[in-house]
Structure 1
């Protein structure tokens, strides 16, 4: 992979897109993970204004620390970068308190998605305040493979600069960009549950395995038991999350009814 050329291409793509919109800069949610670190760095390289936003909600301290360290590194290298922390814990707690009581097994997931949507709302508030674009941080496996994101949460963005890159390719760019080691070495997590569960814990497979499954076109009968299991996991998630990846269905009324 030609990292330098890809980095330069994305940087120019971001810069050109912003100029066409006639807006003032970019806003990026920084989580302490590899995707937001690479995305915010690519935005910073445009020399356009970049606002990095921390939005902790009962966050694991290691995630908060990584985000702060990355933002400090960005600011030391790019004078067009600013940052703000919006502690959404009280907002989330008030929201949760106002919800009807339930014993549903899906409550944990619903609340996790609600965290992502509170963050999206915050990013768009700040974007509206400064006339900025909200930049997505999803990669190709998450966005178009297994749909591992929240609809109208981290999936609610204005543009997606790394959505055509596999997770492994994002890591490769991170090395070239000299992203701090603590982020490059951290286990991927969406940080939506206030604990240390990883993406692999939730998905049932690693990103390397899912990348393989996403590209596999061979004979399923030739697979090992683990490969067959991973392919099954991938196909199940891809099918279940198609509603996230396709345009909102519209009920078209026949012309003779109008």
Structure 2
């Protein structure tokens, strides 16, 4: 990958899209992870207004400190970047008092994790509307089009996706070229939606390099029987997530009414 040319291409694409849309810039949720760090830096390089928002909900301290380090560095480098913090923990806790908890604990935990992401999406769109900004998505190609590792109408609810055609390994390449803080480059990927130390790999069962491999094999038309041992396991994990999350990756189905009715 020609990293610098890819960076220039994305920055120009962002700037052109925002200009044509008649908006003043972008709003981005900053998590302390590599995807939001790279996306916010790319947006900052457009010269348009960039609002970085911290939205903690019982957030791990390591995530908070990395997010704050990145925002401070970004504001030091770019005078078009501003930030704010919206603590959504009280909102989340109040939400829990108004719903009932029925079913298995794992199902409840997942529903609440997705609720966190949707509260953050609502917050981003509030500020987007307030300041005439676009919500910039932070999903990469493996998450958005491989395993569907995001929340529908949560972190998947965005106006545009600058890095969604980049594999996770390529996002790291851009991160290094964009001088993203070492603490973020070296951090274990985690969505932080459960308020504990579980990583993306803990949840999925495979690492991003493994998932990139499986995504490539699937694109080449390979099948389960083409592999053995760990490769079979990884390929099966990829296919299971890909099939289960198709509803996130394809357009919403529309019931088309026959013309004779």
Matches within 5 A, 1:173-212: 173-212=174-213
Cα RMSD over matched residues?
0.9
How far the C-alpha of 1:221 sits from its partner, in A, is 3.9
1: distance between equivalents of 2:247 and 2:101?
Answer: 28
Structure 2 residue aligned with 1:46: 46
The answer to whether the 8 A contact 2:27-2:50 is kept is: yes
Deviations 1:162-200 (A, max 9, x none): 000000000011111111000000000001000010000
Please say if 1:131 is aligned against 2:135. Answer: no
- Residue 103 of structure 1 and its aligned partner are, at CA, apart by 4.0
Structure 2: stretches of 5+ with no match in the other structure: none
Contact 2:224–2:236 (CA<8 Å) still a contact in 1?
no
Structure 1 residue 224: Cα displacement = 3.1
Please state whether the residue corresponding to 1:12 is helix, strand or coil. helix
- Alpha carbons 2:59, 2:195 under 8 Å: kept: yes
Q: Secondary structure at the match of 1:28?
A: strand
Unaligned stretches of 5+ residues in structure 1: none
Asked if 1:118 corresponds to 2:114, the answer is: no
1:1-46 per-residue CA deviation (whole Å, 9 max, x = no partner) reads 1000000000000000000001111000000000000000000000
What is the TM-score with the length of structure 1 in the denominator? 0.98
The residue number in structure 2 matching 1:241 is 245
Matches within 5 A, 1:54-133: 54-105=54-105, 106-133=107-134
Q: Distance in 1 between matches of 2:251 and 2:227?
A: 34
CA-to-partner distance for each residue in 1:141-170, whole Å, 9 max, x for gaps? 000000000000000000000000000000
Aligned-partner SS, 1:256: coil
Aligned partner of 2:27 in structure 1 is 27
- Counterpart of 2:18? 18
